Copies of this chain bind each other. A is one copy, B any other.
Amino acid sequence: MATIQDVAKAAGVSPMTVSNVINDHPNVRPSTREKVMEAMVRLDYRVNVAARNLRKGRTGVIGLAVPEVNSAYYGLLAATIITAAERRGLRVSVEQTASRENELDALSLSRNRLYDGLILSAAGLEQADAERLRVDHPVVILGDRIFGGPVDHVAMPNFDASREATRHLIERGCCRIAILCGAADEVDTSSLRLTGYRQALQDAGLPSDPALIQQVDRLGMREGAERAREMAESGLDFDGVFCVTDSLAMGVLRGLADVGTRVPDQVKVIGFDNVMESEFLIPSLSTVDPDHDGMAERAVDLLIRRIEQTEPPTGHQDVVGDFSLVIRESTGG
């Protein structure tokens, strides 16, 4: 493995000149550059990134930590962040955290030094963990469980969007609307969306029946399908379902089909995320379309700001994204 020294020797110049050639510094005579280039090719020289990182204290790579990589939503999130970062000349490296402990690990600087900064999409962290976010390293949190923490934060428009989604079901004539969400024990995605749902019911003067609040362990397709079947088979009376994620909604569509319930005729279904798949489902899925691009852009911008500033972090931002509703067949087109 050739080093800068080897190239320098081969080209008959100093290591510094080789470095200048590599980094496109201006003051290199064309003939010298030529010689060096030739030597680099001949020796098949590759820069040692570890050494460069050590010296520069920068890698040009940011980390993105997500709870799972095999999920429609996080896949979309990753793609969006990668695009936004690319525009700013940064590469992205995606890691799966899978557990709350791993989320905290991802934060720990020890793992972190490979990246100039970290975008952490946290599902498991709670307000109680907020203090542990006080790291002297650029971090932006994507998620809903932590506000006003010692860290920049980009969140979904959970309340407003859920209210709109529920209102849409009401406008389409639903009056027994169920919500499918996770255990909403504290401030998290599910509880925020549940609040929006409740508000919409109240706005419309509809009663809120606890039996219609359906909580599942995971927000995945399987859980959605199982619960939908149970709801139908138990004789629960409902004519609309607001699912707090599109994955849940995909499952619900399937579960309702299993028991012969027609969507949207008998029950209307709306999701949240506007995942790529939702457009192609049968029936196609009405859903909340968060401004993924805008939020990704914002998250990357915030992170870059922290990366480039030298003073200790201060004035942390809480950004809430935009959204719109996409109406498709599952609520009657």
Binding site for B on A (CB under 8 A): 1, 46-51, 53-54, 57, 59, 61, 68-72, 75-76, 78-79, 82, 91-96, 108-114, 136, 221-222, 225, 250-251, 253-254, 257, 276-277, 279-282, 284
Contact = CB atoms under 8 A, between A and B. Distances in A.
B82 A94 contact: no
State the number of copies, please: 2
A78 B69 contact: yes
3 closest Cβ pairs, A-B complex: A70-B79, A50-B53, A46-B109
A76 B82 contact: no
A49 B113 CA distance: 6
A42 to B, nearest CB: 15
A110 B69 contact: no
B50 A108 contact: no
A300 to B, nearest CB: 15
B49 A111 contact: yes
A70 B91 CA distance: 16
B61 A50 contact: no
Contact of A280 (B94, B113, B250): B250
Contacts of A257: 282
A254 B276 contact: no
Given A69-B94, A70-B276, A94-B94, 19 more contacts: A47-B113, A48-B113, A49-B110, A49-B111, A49-B113, A50-B50, A50-B53, A50-B113, A53-B53, A69-B78, A69-B82, A70-B76, A70-B79, A71-B75, A221-B279, A253-B282, A254-B282, A277-B277, A282-B282
A193 B82 CA distance: 31
A68 B79 contact: yes
A70 B280 CA distance: 15
A225 B279 CA distance: 11
Nearest to A284: B254
23 contacts: A1-B109, A46-B110, A46-B113, A47-B110, A49-B110, A49-B113, A50-B57, A50-B113, A53-B54, A54-B54, A68-B79, A69-B69, A69-B75, A69-B94, A70-B76, A70-B276, A71-B75, A72-B75, A93-B93, A94-B95, A114-B114, A250-B280, A253-B280
A49 to B, nearest CB: 4
A46 B113 CA distance: 9
A6 to B, nearest CB: 15
B61 A114 contact: yes
A65 to B, nearest CB: 10
A113 B46 CA distance: 9
A38 to B, nearest CB: 18
Contacts of A95: 91-94
Contact of A70 (B53, B75, B92, B93): B75
